[in-house]
Chain A
Amino acid sequence: MFTAFRGTAEGVSYYRVLREEVEARLRAGLGPLTPEGSQGKERYRLVMEGPPNWTSFREFWKMFYDEGAVVVASSYTKVGGLYDGGFRHDPKRPLETLAEYCMGCYTNLGLPTRLALLERYIREYRADGFMINSIKSCNSFSVGQLLLLRQLEQSTGVPGGFIESDLVDPRYFSAANIKNRIESYLQMLEQKRTGVNA
């Protein structure tokens, strides 16, 4: 939708319907809709950094769903521009705004700007934590991620998690290893919440 229907009438009506649905769910106090139906109890609110694993996406997604971890904001959805930051294409300045759009794409931002953006998401969405999915075949994302992890932890006081997989190469997805890290990370968040008696 986002890539192929941008600027078309179909795209506009799609996003209008989507927005109405999201607002209606919000008013009704419902969480996100998932392939398994409504997300039940929301136990952890996470900001996600990096692309998802497309090759085993359902399995990957289920690891979060099963633990009640909800992704409240992410950097991958900003690869197509920072519309939530106010950017709009202007038909009167088509080339200029196209250039502005490109400069605003997440992967075209420098490290300090990325850091500021993620900090804002963690605060605005009251996230319990943030998780980095480090991808081997996308350097635009993975460069500097470890530095980002430490700096975000320092500036927000929120603990970060780190997993490794791939966007396109199915051989790089190890379900047992990733599940282990996600669960360990979420249990760490739980322990941080409840203290020594967790």
Chain B
Amino acid sequence: MNALRTYVGIDLGSTTTKAVVLNDAGEVIGRGITNSRSNYDVACQVVREEAMVRTRFTLTRQAITGDPALAQVEKAFLSSLQRNFRFRQHLDQLARLREALFRAAGDPRHSAHRRELNTALESIVNEMVERAGLHFSELAVRKSDFFRDLATADYMQLAEQHSDPRGITFDMLCGLFDAAILVVENATTQGSFETQLRGALEPTLASATLAVQEKASRLREVVETTCGAQIVEAGTVGTGYGRQRLPFPKEQIRSEILCHGLGAHAMFPGSRTVLDIGGQDTKAIQVDADGLVVSFQMNDRCAAGCGRYLGYIADEMNLGLHELGPLAQQSTRRVKINSTCTVFAGAELRERLSLGQRREDIVAGLHRAIILRAMSLLARSGGVRDEFTFTGGVARNPAAVDALRQLVQENYGERTLNISADSIYTGALGAALFARRTAQANL
């Protein structure tokens, strides 16, 4: 098998880091996402490995679909293989977490109750391992794919059960977890892909249907080939908020404005205006028919009206971020909120609540307030042209989308509004496309 040439784009955001892998034809063959964890070097390495793992899964799928003898087994086998693979990765990380927890518990300040502490930790981690299977079962709906999120939810729940206000307290257990999870997250070697994939293969085959088991030897061959496939990174471009920290030379770094413009153009070739509302900034970008940026505006140093604003409001109301949009959609009489300043909006929220106004009406007003701010950036950048593409984390919030649709209609008339389910990868996709263009131009 010839070496596979790939082009990688990495988008270091303030909240999450994303990677996209393209092949020579410019098709997306791998993607990865991880939390930026205030350590861009690690995030960059983790997300790259993750994207390469997915690339190898794509190769496996292509090998299976390309093989007439395996045509029928593709979907069931692959999804089960991926689940088993993720499960093994998760167990690996739990083993690391266990090690880190006991190391943290070994600190002299815990010497008075070392034995009770170790017993509690042992029970918690054992139960976490038992629960791990549930997260990766066929019917499981995971709220998050990040190890940190899954482990935190399980650990906190179990720590509450195993703590005792007169002995090993909940706070003590939380402190150990905070120290240990950082160690796990900052470790970059996730175990070799080959070992984990081979390890995942046997349980997958053992639990497979007879039709799949009949093809076991051929499937083993395919997996071996994929494991051994040579992948060459022919070009890499980094972008995003933390791009100055990427371990690449300057020529391999592109502004996120250019990457978002090109990425949006690749997803929706008709895009002329792009709005991106991320965690820390809002960007309004105008692109031409080739996806090249002709003008842009972004928020100044204040993150008012960005994703973080919604996060803060959700915290203030004791809601999950994903619950905010649907709550706002129940509003029947929207309240006018005057401030997009996160701190003032928090005060205004409490004032409105004390006046007896309904939560859904207030939240609807807050959504409109952030979209109004985005509308002003759009106007500054040259308005909303057809087609209009909305990207970034806030594009997942239905109430924000409703408010945007309405305000665009009122101010600019009918526009096609594009929102992709993969919009979070827009910047990384643009970066990968730049990597491919540069590498192919230099051939």
Binding site for B on A (CB under 8 A): 146, 150, 153, 159-160, 162, 164, 172, 174, 176-177, 180-181, 183-185, 187-188, 191-192, 195-198
Contacts and interface: CB of A to CB of B under 8 A. Distances in A.
A197 B437 contact: yes
A184 B382 contact: no
B296 A188 contact: yes
A184 B257 contact: yes
Given A187-B258, A188-B293, A196-B292, A162 B300 contact: no
A120 to B, nearest CB: 22
A153 B380 CA distance: 13
A1 to B, nearest CB: 33
B380 A146 contact: yes
Interface of B: 241, 254-258, 281, 290, 292-298, 300-301, 380, 382, 434, 437-438, 441
3 shortest interchain CB distances as A-B pairs: A174-B301, A184-B255, A184-B257
Nearest to B296: A184
Contacts of B300: 164, 174, 177
Contacts of A184: 255-258, 293, 296
Determine chain B's interface SS by DSSP, over half rule: mixed
B292 A191 contact: yes
B258 A192 contact: no
A162 B380 contact: yes
A181 B300 CA distance: 10
A150 B290 CA distance: 22
27 contacts: A146-B380, A159-B295, A160-B295, A162-B297, A164-B300, A164-B301, A174-B300, A174-B301, A177-B281, A177-B300, A177-B301, A181-B298, A184-B257, A184-B293, A187-B257, A187-B258, A188-B255, A188-B257, A188-B258, A188-B296, A191-B292, A192-B294, A196-B437, A197-B438, A197-B441, A198-B292, A198-B434
Contacts of B295: 153, 159-160
B137 to A, nearest CB: 43
A21 to B, nearest CB: 33
A173 B69 CA distance: 64
Given A150-B382, A177-B301, A159 B294 contact: yes
Contacts of B298: 177, 180-181
A83 to B, nearest CB: 33
A196 B254 contact: no
B147 to A, nearest CB: 29
A192 B438 CA distance: 15
B15 to A, nearest CB: 15
Most chain A CB neighbours (cut-off 10 Å) among B295, B297, B382:
B295
Contacts of B254: 187
A172 B301 CA distance: 8
Nearest to B442: A197
Contact of A196 (B256, B290, B380): B290
Given A146-B380, A197-B437, A180 B292 contact: no
Most chain A CB neighbours (cut-off 10 Å) among B258, B294, B296, B300:
B300
A165 to B, nearest CB: 9
A150 B286 CA distance: 13
A150 B300 CA distance: 19
B281 to A, nearest CB: 8
A197 B433 CA distance: 10
Contacts of A153: 295
Nearest to B295: A159
Contact of B255 (A159, A187, A192): A187
A174 B20 CA distance: 30
Contacts of B293: 184, 188, 191
Most chain A CB neighbours (cut-off 10 Å) among B290, B293, B380, B441:
B293
A185 to B, nearest CB: 8
A146 to B, nearest CB: 6
Nearest to B438: A197
Contacts of B380: 146, 162
Given A150-B382, A177-B301, A197-B437, A192 B256 contact: no
A182 to B, nearest CB: 10
A164 B296 CA distance: 14
Contacts of A146: 380
Nearest to A162: B297
Given A164-B301, A174-B300, A198-B434, 13 more contacts: A150-B382, A180-B241, A180-B298, A181-B298, A183-B255, A184-B257, A184-B258, A187-B254, A187-B258, A188-B255, A188-B257, A188-B293, A191-B258
Nearest to A136: B300
Contacts of B437: 196-198
A153 B297 CA distance: 14
B78 to A, nearest CB: 36
A181 B295 CA distance: 11
A177 to B, nearest CB: 5
A172 B382 CA distance: 25
A24 to B, nearest CB: 33
Nearest to A175: B301
Contacts of A160: 295
B427 to A, nearest CB: 12
Contacts of B292: 188, 191-192, 195-196, 198
B260 to A, nearest CB: 10
B55 to A, nearest CB: 25
A146 B377 CA distance: 11
Contacts of B438: 197
Most chain B CB neighbours (cut-off 10 Å) among A153, A160, A164, A183:
A183
